[in-house]
Structure 1
């Protein structure tokens, strides 16, 4: 080899190490001028540059497009000719046969000729080239060759049953990984040398990760996970991330960060997790001088940090152009976003940090505005965070984007509308009907649940209706919907429970008992079914059997206050006063425990109350009144609320079952003490209830009863009127108001109040009995007898507590 040729080829190797394509063309022209255009090295280098330019230009082309490319076929023919030429490697620094073979194999891989690619690598003895490479540019070429070889071996394994393991492919991947790390460190070394003050030239080579190499690194991690060694996958990803320079495209960083987070979340044990090292020698070579680096302390923290960094990179410059030519890029961005937020939801949900997920996904809506899956995730996170109004709006957006698959979203929106305060029953009915409209005919579960929520909405409308006609109409629709729900899914106990509940409200006790027993056959441990059965048995005056049912239910649900209050009432009916007092103590203990743990009621938020809780108890079965006087002074809220507080309260007819929670428990205990003529203890309990919800109708009603006991009839009337102002359907307040009015001699007004109450609910035997007494006092004997008979008939089917004391199972 002449000295002139040697000098030119040395310059060619230096330029190839730098990766400067323009200078590469110029130096090839010099070599062609020296050695001629037919020189094998000149021809190969010229084809190398053209192939490199072709792949840059067609980077986004699909495999099918490249497979049918006539240009690539032409390049393959030229490279095949270059391999056949008799050229002594000693005559040149460029090994034409090896480099042409590796480049030819790359072309075969791009055209999906995987077996041909493997055969070429076998001919050049790819495994023997690893330790013979000295030039920097050949390291990355050989790295890509090992990566392609591994990918082709995997594809061949899928087609050829002779391949039983991934060992050979994994070996190629690991060799490619080593060469890639060597390439990165050599690049850093050369870059540091070229930027030193004594360096005569500038070194501007940028690292470029070829697609095959990137796929190889990800497949290596996948095979590690498949072989049940996820710690190797984690170590690989961390090594890559601490080695990659900052100028690598953000898409590459995104993928490595996201995959590492996925491995930590889904396939890594907390026990085998190794905390990120704080040793500066183990940090990235590009961040050795950085101080105050955040170091995660545990696996969830590291995974969340990686996902948030990935999210920041993804939202840094998303594709916002809606033109057709950017459709593919936009779709790729959306798919990355869906995958990222799926993992982020898994990371934050286990710790209840829904606000992090909500804030993150909200930032992506600028380009995810028409993506059903992301809107669905956004809605669920808002609901989990407690932002029900926004959650319902997002569920409505899901229904708009894709109505064909939005039945579950409409059902969830309906449920949220029913449970929020105040309930939006009309909106809930609309969503339930929408779910039924779009539910699949073959999907019995969705249709059943749609009918169920339609029936529930009608039932709630009936309970809140002031018109008897409307109430009967809604109740009939509810029963029909529950029946349709049970027909659609006969193995679901919920429609049977709600049907039994509706029949119980209609005083069809025998049929209701039959239906609730059918529900218990499907779900023997359903708390609401057991509670309803006990109330139905008490309506049949089978108090002992009802108590047995409640005791069985309390073994399963010992902290259920609603069950305890019903049990307490039954014990009073059975003249078991001491047992009733013990049950009251249990209720107070539960309320006190919940207050200590700062647990809010399911239906209402507690207002802060100073002082000691009323629930301090004696060792016996009775409350020590003297030790609770300080609590009374601290928790009593007797003053009239301001106009602002009144506006904040609920000032429209509410459904009886909505008044639930600890406040109602205190009211029930106070009612028990009043029945036992223990007025001082009752006053303490009412004070506690008033401290929680001063505007609750039951609280105002109990205050009126206490005033009535003390002879303060005007104050009692005021409290009863306040309770009826908040809830006109509050029958207990209506009865007591009529009684006080009749005591004051205002018989006509009392009669009108009772008649209004009957129009609201004609199933209350106490209202009919009181009206009978008033009619008798005014010498209307026939009407009085008729009302009395009606009251006796209703009393025969009245439970110890209203059926609406059961918190509805939604």
Structure 2
């Protein structure tokens, strides 16, 4: 009655009064209903500043004798000095739901016998309602581990119950336990044979977290088969996920016929996605990205602008258009669009990183240095609090999954090593490379907090080092590299940057050693191969330089630096015709090369 009259305060007080009454065996079902209803009322309209805690003062005025009440018809109340009284909305809501869950689990029926079916269904419905409320409550305050404990207890009485299994999978994803979540999703997929959603979620996890695009394509293909039969409105999204999987498989592939086959499959799937839903900005964006990676710049620009027109605030589309403008050497327009994008997203680290490189190319080191320092200050404001304290493994994973920024780029992440085919590198080379950093490892311990945040800082230090080297400030560049080494000494990118520093100093033997170390750890790191080949050329090892640069060209034929260096080597070998072809190829590739690889844009599903 109080709620119907919009008198929420008196309604809540009435609920609290009833729940503080001494429990009896006849009131257990009522208590379960009341705790659940009070939690719903608090969640719906009494959180934050609207919340008022229970007032135990009225109870303290009662007489100390427990057998004295105002009326024999009023129930006895729980009293005592050790009673827990919630003081904030979070405490009371979670307490109510935990009590509800304990009572609901106690009432569950484990027997699958037909005579207990009605009782089993009723108890399960009560438990499911409580789990849904718990999901709303704990996710709001970031306490997903509490919910996970509930679902683990619920598994024993949730046989063939698809809703509970699906919620459990979502909970595991939120906690960062992706392999476990994928296993649960396989069970959900079996329980929901007509639903496309579990398959799409599984595919997204494979792409975004598990770095398993091949398995993601399998999930997407099954989703497509289901969508065609039962959910035709999701056919476009299924084709999109399938295309993303083929695209991710194609990028690290350097066996030519396999790469071309995957590119063809990706293009076919993404084209069908656009045809089935021409007003989805995500399908247009991924088709544009795929065309851009295939060096079809003009076609990619058309689709990227279409994606931007469909969703003007889509940050990845903005980044793609900016990179396409730089590929067409329209750096002024790219800079203008970049400034407009930064007005909308002033703290976007991807955009600021791109701005630093664009300034380094167009304006020089001074302007780029200011931007890179701003990048470091933004990192501190976003991540320093997380990394300053020693967090548990669980909070580490949760922080990683909730990170607002993913630093994905072929220069800035280890994505380029996610599909290593060159496993024939001798173990002795790896051991030799690791021995170079043994002194660092002797005192190396992982930094506290989310490791992704530390990897971001490594990339920022390496960017600063690159800028200082362009400004010929080798001392400051060495200091930045040292900061990166202290965080992650085994990074092939850190080793590459050390080699680049020695190369700029003219110390070619030391430079060659560091480039070899980088290649030993990541055989497909193109920049290390490019500079290793160049150093071998400087040291007079022309045949070895040619072999190294041809390997780099085989891995990434769209890098003009590789072709230019190979042309220089062939010229020194007296192969003038081959050198001319390489230099002409370098000019052609350079005319359509962006300021940064298109793969710098983070994977997005929104």
Asked if the contact 1:507/1:797 (under 8 Å) is kept, the reply is: yes
For 1:552, the equivalent position in structure 2 comes to: 340
Give the one of 474, 496, 510 matched to 2:284.
Answer: 496
Q: Comparing 675-684 with 711-720, which one deviates more in the overlay?
A: 711-720
Give the one of 786, 789, 806 matched to 2:584.
Answer: 789
Give the one of 640, 643, 656 matched to 2:438.
Answer: 640
1:386 aligns with 2:165: no
Residue-by-residue CA offset, 1:689-730 (whole Å, 9 max, x unaligned): 223333332222101111223444333223222322333221
Give the one of 462, 465, 473 matched to 1:670.
Answer: 465
Which structure 2 residues correspond to residues 110-129 of structure 1 after superposition, within 5 A? none
SS of the aligned residue for 2:50 comes to coil
Per the TM alignment, residue 293 of structure 1 is displaced from its structure 2 partner at its CA by 0.9
RMSD: 2.9
Which structure 2 residues correspond to residues 184-203 of structure 1 after superposition, within 5 A? none
Give the one of 238, 241, 265 matched to 1:453.
Answer: 241
CA distance in 2, matches of 1:408, 1:309: 32
Asked if the contact 1:408/1:446 (under 8 Å) is kept, the reply is: no
Which structure 2 residues correspond to residues 453-532 of structure 1 after superposition, within 5 A? 453-532=241-320
Structure with bigger gyration radius: 1
For 1:411, the equivalent position in structure 2 comes to: 200
Per the TM alignment, residue 580 of structure 1 is displaced from its structure 2 partner at its CA by 2.1
TM-score, with structure 1 as normaliser:
0.63
Indicate how the Cα distance of structure 1 residues 475 and 300 shifts in structure 2: closer, same or farther if over 3 A, else same.
same
Residue-by-residue CA offset, 1:526-549 (whole Å, 9 max, x unaligned): 211111111111111111111111
1:740 aligns with 2:538: no
Indicate how the Cα distance of structure 1 residues 403 and 294 shifts in structure 2: closer, same or farther if over 3 A, else same.
same
For 1:435, the equivalent position in structure 2 comes to: 223
For 1:324, the equivalent position in structure 2 comes to: 114
Which structure 2 residues correspond to residues 666-705 of structure 1 after superposition, within 5 A? 666-705=461-500
Asked if the contact 2:108/2:157 (under 8 Å) is kept, the reply is: yes
Give the one of 273, 279, 293 matched to 2:52.
Answer: 273
For 2:130, the equivalent position in structure 1 comes to: 340
For 1:775, the equivalent position in structure 2 comes to: 570
Asked if the contact 2:220/2:238 (under 8 Å) is kept, the reply is: yes
SS of the aligned residue for 2:552 comes to helix
Per the TM alignment, residue 463 of structure 1 is displaced from its structure 2 partner at its CA by 1.4
CA distance in 2, matches of 1:301, 1:659: 33
SS of the aligned residue for 2:11 comes to helix
Which structure 2 residues correspond to residues 361-372 of structure 1 after superposition, within 5 A? 361-372=151-162
SS of the aligned residue for 2:513 comes to helix
SS of the aligned residue for 1:224 comes to coil
1:758 aligns with 2:548: no
CA distance in 1, matches of 2:53, 2:554: 71
Indicate how the Cα distance of structure 1 residues 241 and 809 shifts in structure 2: closer, same or farther if over 3 A, else same.
closer
Asked if the contact 1:241/1:256 (under 8 Å) is kept, the reply is: yes
SS of the aligned residue for 1:597 comes to helix
Asked if the contact 2:199/2:223 (under 8 Å) is kept, the reply is: yes
Residue-by-residue CA offset, 1:475-516 (whole Å, 9 max, x unaligned): 121122222222222222111111111111111111111110
Which structure 2 residues correspond to residues 206-217 of structure 1 after superposition, within 5 A? none
Per the TM alignment, residue 312 of structure 1 is displaced from its structure 2 partner at its CA by 0.9
CA distance in 1, matches of 2:250, 2:236: 21
For 1:294, the equivalent position in structure 2 comes to: 84
1:247 aligns with 2:25: yes
CA distance in 2, matches of 1:671, 1:715: 18
Asked if the contact 1:275/1:298 (under 8 Å) is kept, the reply is: no
SS of the aligned residue for 1:717 comes to helix
SS of the aligned residue for 1:382 comes to helix
Mind listing any 5+ residue stretches in structure 2 that lack a counterpart?
67-73, 388-395, 404-434, 447-451
SS of the aligned residue for 1:316 comes to helix
For 1:201, the equivalent position in structure 2 comes to: none
CA distance in 2, matches of 1:591, 1:260: 42
Residue-by-residue CA offset, 1:774-801 (whole Å, 9 max, x unaligned): 1111111111111111111111111111
Per the TM alignment, residue 559 of structure 1 is displaced from its structure 2 partner at its CA by 1.7
Asked if the contact 2:16/2:54 (under 8 Å) is kept, the reply is: no
Asked if the contact 2:166/2:185 (under 8 Å) is kept, the reply is: yes
Asked if the contact 1:257/1:310 (under 8 Å) is kept, the reply is: yes
CA distance in 2, matches of 1:341, 1:288: 27
Asked if the contact 1:319/1:333 (under 8 Å) is kept, the reply is: yes
For 1:801, the equivalent position in structure 2 comes to: 596
Mind listing any 5+ residue stretches in structure 1 that lack a counterpart?
1-222, 606-636, 649-656
Asked if the contact 1:568/1:580 (under 8 Å) is kept, the reply is: yes
For 1:229, the equivalent position in structure 2 comes to: 7
CA distance in 1, matches of 2:566, 2:51: 76
Per the TM alignment, residue 317 of structure 1 is displaced from its structure 2 partner at its CA by 4.4
Which structure 2 residues correspond to residues 644-659 of structure 1 after superposition, within 5 A? none
Query: Structure 1 stretches (4+) deviating beyond 4 angstroms?
Result: 281-285, 287-291, 440-445, 599-605, 641-646, 657-660
CA distance in 2, matches of 1:800, 1:243: 70
Indicate how the Cα distance of structure 1 residues 781 and 442 shifts in structure 2: closer, same or farther if over 3 A, else same.
same
TM-score, with structure 2 as normaliser:
0.84
Residue-by-residue CA offset, 1:229-251 (whole Å, 9 max, x unaligned): 23343233333333464222533
For 2:517, the equivalent position in structure 1 comes to: 722
Asked if the contact 1:376/1:398 (under 8 Å) is kept, the reply is: yes
